[in-house]
Amino acid sequence: MGIFPASNAIHRPSLQGRMSRSVFCKVWFYLGLYATLCLLFALPSKSIAQSSIPPEDLQLQLCNRINAYRAEMGLTALTWSDSLTLIAAKHSDAMAEHRRPFSHKGFKKRAKQVYQWWQSATGVSENLYFTTWTGDLVEMAFEGWKTSQGHHENMIGAYDMTGISIVKNRKGEYFITQLFVQLP
């Protein structure tokens, strides 16, 4: 398979009597080669290296990007929480494995877990992100949340801690869950 059509897709020995089968195959070959080269060189250089970055590093990069934005807004930085990341990871895993749709479904359960771990917590919120593109994942998620009112409010909200999970499945789909916790 691949990006080329199957060889039995053309049943006529020639195209309107003007092009032989060998010429037709050469045209398809060069069109395919051209398309492949366009895809390779059109992608930003980060997109190729992105897949080699461990998810844990991407998670911290996203947290740092959000904290830099919060600093620009005169807000305090969010503290990283491995425990929140574990709660977020369960949701990202379930979405990546298609056991749960890409949605906030089950958020009340995740919030309940947070309140069990931090009984003094006064607020919990969640941001989700999904993509199949392998460009600068951190910047894409950040910009996507920044331009969405509800997600932006979470990023700049009066929260103290965060946990972020990034999961990539076999199909190349990325699922990101970020939890925010407000403490008194």
Confidence at 42, pLDDT banded by 50, 70, 90: very low
How many other C-beta atoms lie within 10 A of the C-beta of residue 31?
12
% of the chain surpassing 90 pLDDT: 55
Which has more pLDDT, 128 or 26?
Answer: 128
Residue 170's closest CA among 35, 50, 51? 51
Q: What is the mean pLDDT of residues 144-171?
A: 94
Identity at 156, one-letter amino acid code: I
Three-class secondary structure assignment of the chain: CCCCCCHHHCCCCCECCCECHHHHHHHHHHHHHHHHHHHHHHCCHHHHHHCCCCHHHHHHHHHHHHHHHHHHCCCCCCEECHHHHHHHHHHHHHHHCCCCCCCCCCHHHHHHHHHHHCCCCCEEEEEEEEECCCCCHHHHHHHHHHCCHHHHHHHCCCCCEEEEEEEECCCCCEEEEEEEEECC
Residue 16: the pLDDT is 43
Mean pLDDT of 49-71: 84
8 pLDDT tier (thresholds 50, 70, 90)? very low
Instruction: Report the interhelical angle of 82-96 vs 107-117 (nearest 10°).
Output: 160
Contacts of 146 (CB under 8 A, 6+ apart): 69, 152, 155
Q: Which residues contact 28 (CB under 8 A, 6 or more apart)?
A: 4, 5
Mean pLDDT, range 45-71, rounded to an integer: 76
- With a pLDDT cut of 70, the percent of the chain lying above it is 72
